[in-house]
Amino acid sequence: MFAGLDWGESHHQLCLVHKAGHVVHQGRYTHTADGLERLDRHLHRHAPLMGIAIERGEGLLVERLQAADHTLYCVSPKVSARARERYRMAPKKDDAFDAFVLADSLCHEFRHWRPLPVASPQLAELRAVIRDRERVVWNQRDLENQLRAILQSYHPAVLHLFLFPGPGHQPAIPERLPHARAGPSGGARADEGVHRPSRVFRTHPI
């Protein structure tokens, strides 16, 4: 029995193909604790498997499958794209069809493919830390972009006050912000150059 797993962020499509070439199972499993447990039970029900073809070489799903003693074959997206052309020329995205192509290609060519090596516990832990750090960096970048877009729309002068150098950089915040009112010397207001919309809410119909 050969398996093809079309990986996705929210769900995974599993296809099991007999060595004779006919499809034994097609299933969709969510990327949740319950969904992955269902996937484990279904794979165990059809064990032993000759291998599982997947387009990812790392991640929680890969580590979970390898921990269950499954042999994984990492297929390059370019290889899987060329393999799809042997079955169908239409470029339409179909998870079930993609999973079948992975399983059927593994059935015919697994002798020429190299299994994905199992990472050591230290390497698996390091990869988990790297994934967490990347997630934090992505969230920080998204928040910076949202804040920059809001300031450019309503208060563009604040961008120069806080010295935003660009996406992905930490803004240099002054140690002490100038007071909004005029100082004792009667000088100009510190926020004089800050743009303010003349009217935020309209009180009359357009």
Q: Are residues 15 and 58 in the same domain?
A: yes
Residue 12, Cβ neighbours under 10 Å: how many? 21
pLDDT digits (tens, 9 = 90+) for 78-96: 888 888 887 776 566 788 8
Does 206 fall in a domain?
no
CA atoms within 13 A on the CB side of 84: 20
Q: 43 lies in which domain range?
A: 2-117
User: Residue 180 has what pLDDT?
Assistant: 46
Is the Cβ–Cβ distance between 71 and 51 less than 8 Å?
yes
CA distance 54 to 170: 37
Q: Specify whether 113 is located in the same domain as 131.
A: no
Bridge partners for 27 per DSSP: 14
What is the phi/psi pair of residue 152, to 5°? -65, -30
Model confidence over 27-50: pLDDT tens digits?
A: 999 999 899 999 999 898 888 899
How much is the pLDDT for 15? 94
Q: Are strands 51-54 and 72-74 parallel, antiparallel or unpaired?
A: parallel
Residue 139 backbone dihedrals phi, psi, to 5 degrees: -65, -40
pLDDT for residue 202: 45
Which residue positions in the chain have pLDDT lower than 70? 89-92, 161-206
φ, ψ of residue 66 to 5 degrees: the values are -70, -35
CA distance 158 to 205: 31
On whether both 59 and 146 belong to a single domain, the answer is no
CB-count exposure of residue 18 (10 Å: 0-12, 13-18, 19+): middle
Q: What is the pTM of this model?
A: 0.59
**CATH number of the domain to which 17 belongs:** 3.30.420.10
- Within this chain, do residues 103 and 134 fall inside the same structural domain, yes or no? no
98 and 137 share one domain:
no
**Is 126 found in the same domain as 100?**
no
Pair 113, 126 in one domain? no
Position 83, amino acid: A
The pLDDT score that the predictor gives to residue 90 is 59
57 shares its domain with 104: yes
Given this model, what pLDDT does residue 163 score? 54
11 and 90 part of one domain: yes
Q: Domains in the chain: how many in total?
A: 2
Q: What pLDDT score does 198 carry?
A: 46
